[in-house]
Structure 1
Amino acid sequence: MAAAATVTGTSGLVGAAVAAALDAAGWAVRGADRAPGRWTTVVGDLREPRVRRSALAGADVVVHAAALHAPHVGRVDEREFRAVNVGATEGLLDDAQRAGVARVIYISSTSVYGHALVPADRAVWVDEGLEPRPRDIYDETKLAAERLVATADAASVTLRIARCFPEPLPVLATHLLHRAVGIADVAAATVLAAARHTVTGTFNIAGPYPFTRADCPALHDDAAAVITARVPEVAAAFRDRNWPLPRTLDRVYDSGAAAAALGYRPVHGVHQVLRTRQDP
């Protein structure tokens, strides 16, 4: 009998990708979301206990991806943010404990680093040792939910995922050099976290980048020169498309901890975008 995974937010971009990847890996997937979707079997608000209990029935693992996100800041009341991102998470964890769920995977965001992402004289090297400094209600509530997950009775993993939503190609290509991640890599990381029963902790999930920590001063001063030196084929592809190379980069996300603990190996980077996608 297949192990069972409950995934919340399965009608959204990340939740749907995670549900599909878990299904492909042999998990029995049960999805929950406020809106219908391909992977959503329980439609309802996770603030309601009956919805949570229905979603968690029979689950061995819960992947909690449902949340209000950064685009909702300023459009949704802060009390709503706390109720959805923190209150519903707390209720889900309580109900998961009662249901005997053995493992919790929380989908967080690199956005929680907040003000710590602002560079001084060099690009910020963003690993898990960087202290989060939330800048808005989204960051605050995601970090608060992380803390709830970390203190849950079940073994837990928090995945701080980098930017992974659709963007214009020149912007996407630039972000995939240092601060974005392919949605398929996010899903793959989640499958790894679900299967690695003894691994706990918080991990950045970002793309394959060509830079090292030693590049940070130069990336701040002349990113175009560093890109040309490190990945000349990418610089040439940008020039061929009349896309400007960035003059400065403010940060580089580091997924080394996830590579070591989970075996995470991102593959959907800037090279793939340049190979497979054409200008509109």
Structure 2
Amino acid sequence: MPAKPLSLRDGLLALAVMAVWGSNFVVIRMGLDDLPPLLFAALRFTFVVFPAILFLKRPPVPWRNLAAYGLFIGAGQFGLLFLAMSGSITPGLASLVIQLQAFFTIGIAAAMTGEKVRPFQIAALLLAASGIGIILSHTDGSTTPLGLALVLSAALSWAIGNIVVRATPGVNMLAYVVWGSIFSAPPLYLMSLIFEGVPAIREGLANADINTAAVIAYQAIGNSLFGYAIWGWLLSRYPAATIAPMSLLVPVFGIAASALWLAEPLQDWKLGVAALVMAGLCLNVLWPRFAAIRGARTPPAA
């Protein structure tokens, strides 16, 4: 697909998706005030499926792919993320750390295909990993080693989900997300029943009000259906190299929303972590583009 710049309208749409995805971490935190984390995640995916599944044809991919996607994204990524954010890590840091899924995706793809990891990818990983090291040295009551481990595990689950999607390129991503979510909610309900128990589930549902419903709707409609529909539409109109760098804005919106709405402190060390992780992500995403431009401008050797 030939390179072309984002139009103003499409650029604003991409920005809106990033704002929704970034602020979603604050919305998750708000929902966890009323609902146990696993039950919350199960309800989210229930309403990703219904009623959207009635209007979307199943994508032409094997059921095993949909099942794997639903399990790793639903029970893996969001189940673990919600558990972590239930008092073990702040929303701002969670929005940043989970972006390490990009490096897990590269590593898994390299292991499966024998694809060589390039030097700039190693440098990018080291930058981001140094930021994680700073978090480990500053763990306190708001961010714990357990919370960090859970979010890293969520990032790994997200990466595996990415690999599953890559096995069937060119499908309608909105339909893929909806049909794959059939396999997300049941294990989350089962885990909620086993680990959170009937009394906690009953209490959570009894405490639910219009704000809880709005939070779940934001998760299902805003974050999943709107976000993936617009993102997939943009990817169908523009090269991935034009659209992919926009995802770097997710932790920017996540950290800003957490600071503004939840008064999450932005200590110097958190800003340092953000700078290191974002630098690693930027290097990973943008270096190939810069290298391609530089190569195109370099005249051939005589």
Provide the TM-score with structure 1 as the length reference: 0.27
Provide the TM-score with structure 2 as the length reference: 0.25
Name whichever structure is richer in strand by fraction.
1
